[in-house]
């Protein structure tokens, strides 16, 4: 299995984790055109800064999300922390900085596929919110990713999945 990891400030432990799973990992810089790469899955890493400033990354991710290869039956796309924000922006969501954010250990998080609760460590100060669907030139709008996980008890995002369309970027409270 070959995974392309977009390096937006990836931590060494994430690379080590992928290696323990026996995947072939191609690490590319944040502004790399990933459309030319062959892969089985795409991972967008964490990193510092304002995700709205990574215009090149958002552009490349939008091109990937808009392909038939990245749909309900397509290749998995996953982002954590800033990578999650970049995927949300590429999918047409807006992001904003929360007043306090999610910080610390023992934060409950619900897997929306199974409704199972996991206890997680979080350090996040941003929130994804859907923007109104736009239909350029009469075409249907692209499907929106569905949240893979949500914060509990609040509606804060915890992860987006690009393989599950037709749901808002932020779950209802």
Question: What token pair was written down for 40?
Answer: 């089985």
Q: Which residue has the higher pLDDT, 138 or 84?
A: 84
CB contact set of 69 (below 8 Å; sequence gap of 6+): 75
Across 7-16, 80-89, 117-126, the highest mean pLDDT is recorded for 7-16
Class (C level, CATH) for 2-161: alpha beta
Residue 73: both structure tokens together: 């039956």
Tell me what pLDDT residue 135 has: 47
Q: In the predicted model, what is the mean pLDDT of residues 39-56?
A: 91
DSSP letters along the chain, please? -EEEEEESS--HHHHHHHHHTT-EEEEEETT--GGG---SEEEE---SS-GGG-HHHHHHHHHHHTSTTSSTTS--EEE-THHHHHHHHHTT-EEEEEEEEEEEEEEEEEETTT--EEEEEEEEEEEEE------GGGPPPPPPPEEEEEESSS--EEEEETTS-SS-SS---
The mean of the pLDDT values for the chain is 77
User: Would you call 139 exposed, middle or buried from its count of C-beta atoms within 10 A (0-12, 13-18, 19+)?
Assistant: exposed
Of the two residues 103 and 40, the one the predictor is more confident about is: 40
């Amino acid at each position: 299995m070959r995974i392309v990891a977009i390096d937006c400030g990836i931590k060494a432990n994430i690379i080590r984790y992928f290696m323990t799973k026996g995947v072939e990992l191609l690490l590319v810089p944040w502004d790399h055109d990933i459309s030319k790469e062959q892969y089985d899955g795409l991972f967008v890493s964490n990193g510092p800064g304002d995700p709205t400033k990574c215009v090149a990354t958002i552009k490349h991710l939008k091109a990937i999300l808009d392909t038939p290869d990245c749909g309900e039956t397509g290749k998995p796309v996953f982002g954590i922390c800033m990578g999650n924000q970049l995927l949300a922006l590429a999918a047409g969501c807006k992001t904003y900085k929360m007043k306090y954010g999610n910080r610390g250990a023992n934060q409950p998080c619900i897997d929306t596929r199974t409704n199972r609760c996991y206890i997680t460590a979080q350090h996040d100060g941003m929130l994804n919110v859907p923007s109104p669907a736009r239909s350029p030139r009469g075409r249907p709008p692209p499907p929106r990713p569905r949240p893979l996980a949500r914060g509990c008890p609040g509606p804060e995002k915890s992860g987006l999945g690009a393989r599950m369309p037709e749901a808002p970027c932020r779950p209802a409270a």
